[in-house]
Each structure stands twice: as structure tokens, then as C-alpha cells.
Amino acid sequence: MAAEKSTDGGFNIDPMYQFKIKEWIPIDLGFIDLSFTNSAFFAFLAVGLVCLFLWTAMSGSSLVPTRMQSMAEGIYEFVRNMVRDSCGEAGLKYFPYIFTLFLFILGCNLLGMVPYSFTVTSHFAITVFLALSVFVSVTVIGFMRHGVGFLGLFWPMDAPAAMRPVLAIIEVISYFVRPVSHSIRLGANMMAGHAVLKVFGGFVAALGVFGVIPIAAIVGVTALEFLVAVIQAYVFAILTCVYLHDALHMH
């Protein structure tokens, strides 16, 4: 460890360089910057790959599934069961949205694991947008189903009467903090993991022959990153289900 510290000073490899957004096709509309960036490209690529995967997998749609088809069906059933277990039958109406979210985030996360690619979900701009769309739609669903009674979510009736105002404040704060933690969890996990990979990559360059030790670490961290990529997509989807459950059934 001491050797790493003393030698990597000579190499200036910025681990944050991989998150730099580059404008490939500048489009400036004056009031808004609509440039086609590498982030936009990889987001489209993720969507395209997911669509291609589902189309090719389900094009045959035989009774005895092929390997691709059983993969697609497995993912579909997995998300469907997750929605039904956590929101009940009423939540199945919103299953396409959660399935789309899950596959988009999974696609972006896994695409980010390809060397020299760009991790779309490592940018808070993307994850905050995803989380805010979940937050807004869940709140709208809650008010559509329960009307003004949805505000009862913040007024715990099973608590002692004296405690209720205090608990209501805590409930309101925790409700509005949801999109913050929801988005930053995904973004921070992806960003931190990829930055760690690049930091270890810097060690390899700095250590010369002894670089095999950090390479071994990189292999392990890469495996862990694949796990994190899948788990974070799962966590994002299941938290969406939890929030949806609150809106549909009010605790």
C-alpha cells in the first residue's frame, strides 16, 4: 500500500475523466442546450439494445422457449412477481412503467461496464429525472385514488394523539426526501464503483511489474460492479414498488 502511495504521484490519471460529457453534435436553441452528447448516445443505445433483445427474444415466441426467449420471459416474470408481491393486483396496472424503468436502468448500468463506454446512470441529472418522474407519478396516483384523503398518509392514526403532529412532520420530511435518496443511491453507486475501477487502473500504470496485484483487485471489483449494476436496478424498481404501494393502499 505504501508503495502505491509513493509512486502514483507521478501519474496524473483523473478517475473522474470518464464521467465527462462531450458534445458530439452541438445543438443550441438559444434558450435550451439540446446538444447530442455521449450521454444521450449511450442512453439511446441502451434503449435500442433492450428493445433489440426483447424483439429478437420474443420474435419466435414458441411454446418451448429458446434460450433467448426464456431469458426475456424470466426477466418479465421476475419484475411482474415483484410488482404483484409488493403492490398487490392493483399495482399490475403500473407494471409496464416499472418494467421499463428496470430494463432501462439495467441496460444503462450494464452498458457502462463495457470499457471506454459512458455510464448514463452515473450522472445525477439522469437519476434525479427518473426519481422525480416516479415521485410525481406516484403522488398523482395517490391523489387520484384517494382524493384529499391521500393526505392521511402523513397523519398516523394508530399513534397516540399527542404524538401525531410530531410524527406528521417526520412523515412529510421523509416523503419529500424520497426522490433525493432514490436518485442519489443509483447515481452515487454507479459513479463510486467506476471511479474505484479507474483509481485502481491508475495504480496499475504507476506500479509497473507489480501492477499485477491491482489488476487482480480490478478483476474482483469488476465482478462486484456487475453485481452492483444489477442490484441497483433491482433496488430502484423495488423502491418504486414500495412508493406505489403507499400511494395505492396508504400503508
Partner 1 sequence: MEGDIGNMGQYIGAGLACIGMGGAGIGVGHVAGNFLAGALRNPAAAQEQTATLFIGIAFAEALGIFSFLVALLLLFAV
Q: Does 106 bind partner 1 (CB under 8 A)?
A: no
The 10 Å Cβ neighbour count of residue 55 is 10
DSSP class of 30: S
Exactly one of 53, 76, 210, 234 binds partner 1 (CB under 8 A); that residue is 234
Residue with cell 483523473: 14
Q: At what angle do helices 95-112 and 212-249 cross, to 10 degrees?
A: 170
- Residue from 85, 90, 144, 173 that binds partner 1 (CB under 8 A)? 85
Considering the complex, state which of residue 67 and residue 251 has its C-beta at the smaller distance from partner 1: 251
How far apart CA 130 and CA 124 sit, in angstroms, is 10
**According to CB under 8 A, which one of 93, 181, 212, 224 is a site residue for partner 1?**
181
Shortest gap between Cβ of 131 and partner 1 (angstroms)? 12
Which residue among 185, 199, 211, 213 contacts partner 1 (CB under 8 A)?
185
Q: Which residue has the cell 452515473?
A: 122
Single-letter amino acid, residue 112: G
Q: Which residue number, 184 or 221, has a Cβ lying nearer to partner 1?
A: 184
The rounded Cα 154 to chain-centroid distance in angstroms is 27
Give CA–CA dist 153/245, Å, rounded.
Answer: 12
Of 59 and 181, which CB lies nearer to partner 1 in the complex structure?
181
Residue 227 found at the interface with partner 1 (CB under 8 A): no
Q: Which one of the spans 42-50, 110-118, 158-166, 227-235 is the region binding partner 1 (CB under 8 A)? A: 227-235
Cβ distance to partner 1 smaller for residue 141 or 239? 239
- For position 82 contacting partner 1 by CB under 8 A, the verdict is yes
- List the interface residues with partner 1, window 26-65 (CB under 8 A): none
For the purposes of burial, counting CB atoms within 10 Å of the CB of 206, is it exposed (0-12), middle (13-18) or buried (19 or more)?
buried
Q: Which is nearer to partner 1, 101 or 207 (CB)?
A: 101
Asked if 77 is part of the footprint of partner 1 (rule: CB under 8 A), the reply reads no
- Nearest residue to 146 via CA among 249, 19, 12, 11: 249
* Cβ at position 204, least distance to partner 1 in Å: 25
- Taking the complex as a whole, the smallest distance from the CB of residue 102 to partner 1 amounts, in Å, to 13
**By C-alpha distance, which of 116, 132, 147, 122 is closest to 243?**
132
Q: Parallel, antiparallel, or unpaired: how do β-strands 36-37 and 23-25 relate?
A: antiparallel
Residues lying near partner 1 in the complex (CB under 8 A) are found at 82, 85-86, 180-181, 184-185, 188, 192, 231, 234-235, 238-239, 242
